[in-house]
Amino acid sequence: MREDWQKIEEIYLAPYASHSNASAGRLRPEPECPIRTVWQRDRDRIIHSKSFRRLKHKTQVFINPSGDHVRTRLTHTLEVAQISRTLARALRLNEDLTEAIALGHDLGHTPFGHAGERALMRMNPQFNHCRQSLRQIDIIENDGRGLNLTMEVRDGVLHHSGQGMPFTLEGALIRYCDRIAYLNHDIDDAIRSGFLSADSLPPRVISVLGSRHSQRINTMVMDIIEQSSGKEEIKMSPPVADAMDELRNFMFEKVYFHPARIEEEKKLSAMIEGFYHYYMEHFELLPPEYQREPHIDAVCDYIAGMTDSFAINTAAQIF
C-alpha cells in the first residue's frame, strides 16, 4: 500500500513538491512501514504523543477565556492543519508532510502562550518555542528517546516562524498557514472576550480581506493559490500581504499588548521565573527523565511542558 501511494504521488504531485520516497530520512534509520509513507507515520506519531495531548490545556492568547469557545493551543494547531491541507492540495504539494509539520509546529509551546515564552526567554536567551518544539520531538518524547521524525518535518517545525526558511515548500506553506489561522481566530476570540468590536478593524483591512472570519481566510487562501500555483515558491500578492501585515500590527497594538494583558503577563512571568529559580536550586526535584545536562535546558524543558492548570497547581504547592 505504501508503494502504491508513492506511485500516486509521482503522478499527482507537482515536480517541485516533496515526494515521500525521496525523504532525507530520520536521525536513526528504521524499517519502512508497509502501509504508511514516512510522513503519514510522522503525523501519527505526533498525534499520539503526550505533548500533543497537552496542547488542549495550553493558552493560545486568552488565559482566562470568557466562554467555552475560545481557542486553545490545540484548536489553533488543528486550524493550521486544516488550512494547510486545503492549500497543499490546491498547489499539488504533499498533504501528508504539510499536515505533519502543522500538527507538530507548537508541541514545545509554553503554558500561558507567548507570555510564558517571553518569561523563559528572559531566563534562557536561547529559548524559543520553535527550538523547543524540535527538542520535544527529538529529545523529550518517549522518555528521552524522541519521536525520530524525518528531516523534512523536523526542519518545518523548527522554521515555522522567525528567521530561517524551511528547505521544503510544504514547510514554507506552514509559515503562511500559521499566521492566517492565528490572526483570524484571535480576532474572533478578542471580540468574544470584549477586547474588540466587530467593526473596529482597520478600514483597509476590511476592504481587502473582508469583514467576516470566513471571508478573510478565504481571501488569503485564494490569493496564495493564485500567486503560487505552478511556481516553486509560496507567496501572496502585495495588496493582500500588506493588508495582512496591517492586521497583524493592529492586533499587537489592540489585543496582544493591551494594558490588561500586560498586567496579567507580569503575574504569569513572576510564576514562570519563580519555577525557573526554584528548579535550578532544587534540580533533584525534577522528574528523573528531566534530570540531564545542561541543567538550564532541562529546567526549561520541564517548565515549557507544563499545561496552564498544572503550572497554577504547582505554584500553589511550591510558593
ω before 294 within 30° of 0 (cis)? yes
Q: What is the pLDDT of residue 62?
A: 83
Which residues of the chain are modeled with pLDDT < 50?
Answer: none
Q: What is the pLDDT of residue 29?
A: 96
Cβ burial, residue 193 (10 Å; 0-12/13-18/19+): middle
> Which of 247, 248, 261 lies closest to 194, judged by CA?
261
Q: What is the pLDDT of residue 3?
A: 96
pLDDT, tens digit, 9 for 90 and up, residues 122-158: 999 999 999 999 999 999 999 899 999 999 999 999 9
CA distance 286 to 290: 6
Distances (CA, A) of 159 to 7, 81, 114, 129, 154: 29, 16, 17, 10, 9
Q: Which residues contact 139 (CB under 8 A, 6 or more apart)?
A: 146, 301
Pull the grid cell for residue 22: 525521496
CATH of domain 2-18+32-318: 1.10.3210.10
pLDDT, tens digit, 9 for 90 and up, residues 152-165: 999 999 999 999 99
Q: What is the pLDDT of residue 65?
A: 63
Distances (CA, A) of 68 to 79, 100, 203, 248: 17, 27, 30, 25
Q: What is the pLDDT of residue 198?
A: 80
The three-class DSSP label of residue 34 is coil
Q: Does residue 173 contact residue 80 with C-beta atoms inside 8 Å?
A: no
CA distance 274 to 298: 15
Stretch (H or E) spanning 173: helix 169-192
Q: What one-letter code names the amino acid at 312?
A: I
DSSP 23: -
- Predicted TM-score (pTM) of the model is 0.96
Torsion over CA: 244, 61, 138, 43 (sign):
negative
CA distance 45 to 37: 12
Q: What is the pLDDT of residue 77?
A: 98
